[in-house]
Chains A and B, each alone.
Chain A
Amino acid sequence: MRTLRRRVRALLPYLVLGLVSGSIYGLTAMGLVLTYKTTGVFNFAHGAVATGAAYLFYELDAKRGLPWPIALALAVALIALLGGPLMEAIGSRLRRVPVATQVVATIGLLLAIQGIVVAIFGAVAMPFPAFLSSRTVRLPGVFVGIDQIVVFGVAAVLAVGLFVFFRSSRTGLSMQAVVDNPDLVGLRGTSAVRVRTVAWMVGLATAALSGVLLGPSVGLNAPFLTLLVVQAFGAAAVGGFASLPLVYVGGLLLGVAAAIAQKYVPGHQFLEGVPSSLPFAFLLAMMLIAPGRLARRTTGGRVPPPPARPLPPVVRRFGPVVVVGLAAAVPAVVGTKLPIYAGGAAYVVLFASLALLVRTSGQASLCHAGFAAVGASSFSHFTHGAGLPWALGLILAGLVAVPVGALVAIPAIRLSGIYLALGTFGFGVLLQQLVYRTHFMFGRSGPLPVPRPAGLDGDVAFYYVILTIAVLTCLVIAVLTRQRLGRLLHALADSPLALGAQGVDVNVTRVLVFCISAFFAAIAGALLAALSGSVDVAPFDPFQSLLYLVVLAVAGSGQLRAPVVAAALLAVVPAYIAGSDTLATYEPVVFGLSAVAIALAEGSRGELSALVRRGAERGRARIARGPAAARLERAT
């Protein structure tokens, strides 16, 4: 009994820590869910907004010397008041595009905001000004910091306030209505645009506030703060992405669970990743316990994606030949830059596999870096470790990723759209946190050596090896998409329901395409590893998956053209721009903003084509009613 009491007492400080951070997670998650429910757009950049706010506060408070209450108010107000109308302008266009494009756009926003912060303040984490008193008071059994009490209290009060606002104020009630039927809200004299703008402002304000409140405990750490969105959707999952009080409770649970895990982690290496992977554990648990709550949202009212603009027949027939011919001539021209092109060829494999999922079947996958990591590490084990022949090792490395792909496809069976994107991203993070460092993958004893094929290990020879594999990959994918699978995938992207009603087991299709995609992504990972000679975890950060998706979106249309362009954009072009070191910092900003711009253009196009279609239907109806009616209508 006494030992139990002592144990509980030893846990108390962690409980306090957990409640404090959990309260912030809960508040952020409520903001996220509120905007999502009201505007229909899931903001992946929610955490990036928190990052931006934390740095802005730092600038105003520590550098400009403003008193902290003013700095805090200014930072939150600036972000909410400027960001709200901006996000409504963006969001209103995004509602018309397919969910996959929505995901790309807000991820682009995430990359851009984080990129700007890193470009201005640098990538190194900095200490955050401790703006609250750090004196402690003694509560029964535990010392609690005044700052902790204030942070917990502020977040809790705001959470309650948010709930009351949503439940009883006129604007809050309109928010509930606007999701179901924006036109109806308009009829009752409330502008749907205004309601959504307010929702964005509230959401952004919670994110900004959370960033500043979290700052003192985590420091100015851009990637970490940006991942706050991950904590937020872990908490949101507990509330089924719907119930605000449950979402807040989810935040508290998440904070406490992570803090208590923190206590037990030291000394258990394999537990190290547990705290940061908890949000996904929550999400996965929700998927298993109550899949109905995360049911697929229908994509009604969305315009179909634009059909790929067909190229002139000459280009279509000879284009690939010319591209391959040029690629074959590269070693004679580029000199010492050859390894860059070799990397580009490997990225073609990666992007082709990603395009198969995202473009053809309309499913957003955000764990491609994970597939590549599986390929790279197991390739090292097969060749360097087990001494298998190079080519055999490569194929085996691809095959190892196949069951991993099937595993990721499980969320794809139950979820679609935004939840699928979250689920796959979550899987990528879980993989990084829990498996990357085990001896199955990279282990802990430094980079893994990765050989090149014997006799073909010169830069030129190895370039041709990679190029050959890239061409083969493209051929295989071209054949697959022209065969039955390709037709099924296109149909799947449009209407899984209709496809199922025609007798196709669409779950088999989904698993199949994830397996094929994972196979090629793993091959790409292995090739990139062999190119650099050794491999470690750094290149396979889950954030890379976000960048891949965004770059592919920027690269335009075409089953194989887009992967080639994307590989060139990511791997080759930067090497030719002067001062590419500074460029590297702005790269995510450029890609991110381009992705947003492209999604917006598509949204506006949707507006146009919807107008044209309505006009045509009206015209048709007029003709059906006869010439006299049409004349009459024209006259009035």
Chain B
Amino acid sequence: MTSGLAVESLTVRYGGLVAVDDVSLEAPTGRITGLIGPNGAGKTTLFNASNGLVRPASGRVRLDGRDITRLPLARRAQLGLGRSFQRIELFNSLSVRQNVELGREGVLAGSMPWRQLFSRRSEQRTVAAAADEALVVCGLETFADRPAGALSTGNRRLVELARILAGGFHMLLLDEPSSGLDDRESERFGAILTHVVREREIGILLVEHHMELVLSVCHYLYVLDFGKLLFEGTPQDAVRSEVVRAAYLGTAA
């Protein structure tokens, strides 16, 4: 049993449309796994099924070997599955620091009413420490007191990442984190990802269109097309693969 996320023969249907068709993949901890494919290939749907926003028609989702297919969103997060969104989801009226703090605060609050009402003093220290560290890792110290809604797209992506890092999840699903970033920003983003995976032994499943970023940070790649798994292998193999070129790289270049 490996730790990390495993998707087994997953199928998701929207009405008559098959968005994800019998896909299996593994994203173990300690490495960055890329998931690429043209628009509408089913990448975000696969994410949504993995973390409980969409119910799959068949197949399983496992986290550290445990079947989480039927668990609700919050429960999966409590087990260590973190998630960022293609359309950045921040708490816009709160400050950057409050956003990042809520990363850990949320996991601690969980599902029990009493835990949602009050925090213990020791927890408050944990929250502050986790937020401090995440802010430093993402280089957001100078923005800590700014309202999150007022930042640029690049920094908003970083705030979302910092919030997930503060949550202490060991498996992250990142949905197109570099969209809206310029080259310099996405390079920096990639460096942060590589850093946290090495330091914390966490796993990342990365959906991304920015091929430079994918090729430079991912250890392993899956390619989806029309809901089906088209290819899996190292990034080097992917670049060489005729199938992948035809379906994806060819059109992107």
* Interface majority SS (helix, strand, loop, mixed), chain A: helix
Does A624 belong to the interface (CB within 8 Å)? yes
* Chain A residue nearest to B107 in the complex (CB): A503
Does B3 belong to the interface (CB within 8 Å)? no
Q: Are B91's CB and A498's CB within 8 A?
A: yes
Nearest CB of A to B76, in Å: 8
Instruction: Tell me which residues across on chain A come within 8 A of B93, comparing CB atoms.
Output: 304-305, 307, 490, 493-494
* Chain A residue nearest to B111 in the complex (CB): A505
- Number of A-B pairs, beta carbon distance below 8 Å: 117
Instruction: Tell me which residues across on chain A come within 8 A of B167, comparing CB atoms.
Output: 502-503
Q: Are B109's CB and A484's CB within 8 A?
A: yes
Instruction: Tell me which residues across on chain B come within 8 A of A304, comparing CB atoms.
Output: 92-93, 147, 149
Q: Are B83's CB and A485's CB within 8 A?
A: no
Instruction: Tell me which residues across on chain A come within 8 A of B153, comparing CB atoms.
Output: 617
Instruction: Tell me which residues across on chain A come within 8 A of B83, comparing CB atoms.
Output: 501
Does A497 belong to the interface (CB within 8 Å)? yes
Nearest CB of B to A288, in Å: 18
A491 to B103, CA, bound (A): 11
Interface string of A486-504 (1 = CB under 8 A from B): 0110110111011111111
Does A509 belong to the interface (CB within 8 Å)? yes
A495 to B153, CA, bound (A): 17
Q: Are A487's CB and B102's CB within 8 A?
A: yes
Cross-chain contact of B77 among A303, A493, A503 (Cβ < 8 A): A503
Interface string of B137-153 (1 = CB under 8 A from A): 00000000001011011
Does B105 belong to the interface (CB within 8 Å)? yes
Interface string of A402-443 (1 = CB under 8 A from B): 000000000000000000000000000000000000000000
Instruction: Tell me which residues across on chain B come within 8 A of A484, comparing CB atoms.
Output: 105, 108-109, 115-119
Cross-chain contact of B74 among A480, A493, A503, A511 (Cβ < 8 A): A503
* Chain A residue nearest to B184 in the complex (CB): A624
Does B98 belong to the interface (CB within 8 Å)? yes
Q: Are A495's CB and B90's CB within 8 A?
A: yes
Does A483 belong to the interface (CB within 8 Å)? yes
Residue of B94, B113, B117, B164 contacting most chain A CB atoms (<10 Å): B117
Does A512 belong to the interface (CB within 8 Å)? yes
A624 to B154, CA, bound (A): 12
A480 to B113, CA, bound (A): 13
Q: Are B102's CB and A499's CB within 8 A?
A: yes
Interface string of A511-540 (1 = CB under 8 A from B): 110000000000000000000000000000
Does A2 belong to the interface (CB within 8 Å)? no
Q: Are A485's CB and B116's CB within 8 A?
A: yes
Residue of A495, A498, A620 contacting most chain B CB atoms (<10 Å): A498
Does B237 belong to the interface (CB within 8 Å)? no
Interface bin, chain B: 35 or more
Q: Are B90's CB and A498's CB within 8 A?
A: yes
Does B226 belong to the interface (CB within 8 Å)? no
Q: Are A509's CB and B85's CB within 8 A?
A: no
Interface string of A592-636 (1 = CB under 8 A from B): 000000000000000000000100110010001000000000000
Does A184 belong to the interface (CB within 8 Å)? no
Instruction: Tell me which residues across on chain A come within 8 A of B152, comparing CB atoms.
Output: 616-617, 620
Interface residues in B80-132 (C-beta closer than 8 Å to A): 82-83, 85, 87, 89-94, 98, 101-103, 105-113, 115-119
Does A579 belong to the interface (CB within 8 Å)? no
Interface bin, chain A: 35 or more
Interface residues in B29-76 (C-beta closer than 8 Å to A): 51, 72-75
Instruction: Tell me which residues across on chain B come within 8 A of A509, comparing CB atoms.
Output: 116
Instruction: Tell me which residues across on chain A come within 8 A of B75, comparing CB atoms.
Output: 505
Q: Quick one: given A484-B119, A487-B102, A624-B182, are A500 and B90 in contact (CB under 8 Å)?
A: no
A505 to B107, CA, bound (A): 10
Cross-chain contact of B91 among A483, A490, A506 (Cβ < 8 A): A490
Does B194 belong to the interface (CB within 8 Å)? no
Nearest CB of A to B193, in Å: 18
Instruction: Tell me which residues across on chain B come within 8 A of A508, comparing CB atoms.
Output: 111-113, 116
Instruction: Tell me which residues across on chain A come within 8 A of B78, comparing CB atoms.
Output: 503
Q: Quick one: given A512-B117, A624-B182, are A500 and B77 in contact (CB under 8 Å)?
A: yes
Instruction: Tell me which residues across on chain B come within 8 A of A503, comparing CB atoms.
Output: 74, 77-78, 106-107, 109-110, 167
Does B170 belong to the interface (CB within 8 Å)? no
A254 to B109, CA, bound (A): 44
Q: Are A501's CB and B112's CB within 8 A?
A: no
Q: Are A500's CB and B74's CB within 8 A?
A: yes
* Chain B residue nearest to A621 in the complex (CB): B182
Q: Quick one: given A307-B93, A483-B119, are A499 and B106 in contact (CB under 8 Å)?
A: yes
Does B157 belong to the interface (CB within 8 Å)? no
A4 to B206, CA, bound (A): 68
Does A189 belong to the interface (CB within 8 Å)? no
Instruction: Tell me which residues across on chain B come within 8 A of A485, comparing CB atoms.
Output: 116-118
Nearest CB of B to A320, in Å: 22
Q: Are B109's CB and A488's CB within 8 A?
A: yes
A7 to B88, CA, bound (A): 62
A511 to B82, CA, bound (A): 24
Instruction: Tell me which residues across on chain A come within 8 A of B91, comparing CB atoms.
Output: 490-491, 494-495, 498-499
Instruction: In the A-B complex, list the 6 residue pairs whose CB atoms are closest, starting with the nearest.
Output: A502-B106, A503-B77, A505-B111, A498-B89, A494-B91, A304-B92
* B contacts, CB < 8 Å to A: 51, 72-75, 77-78, 82-83, 85, 87, 89-94, 98, 101-103, 105-113, 115-119, 147, 149-150, 152-153, 163-164, 167, 182
What are 25 A-to-B residue pairs whose CB atoms are below 8 Å? A300-B87, A307-B93, A307-B147, A483-B117, A484-B115, A485-B116, A488-B105, A490-B93, A490-B98, A491-B94, A494-B91, A494-B94, A495-B92, A499-B102, A502-B77, A502-B167, A503-B78, A503-B106, A503-B107, A503-B109, A504-B116, A508-B112, A511-B113, A616-B152, A617-B153
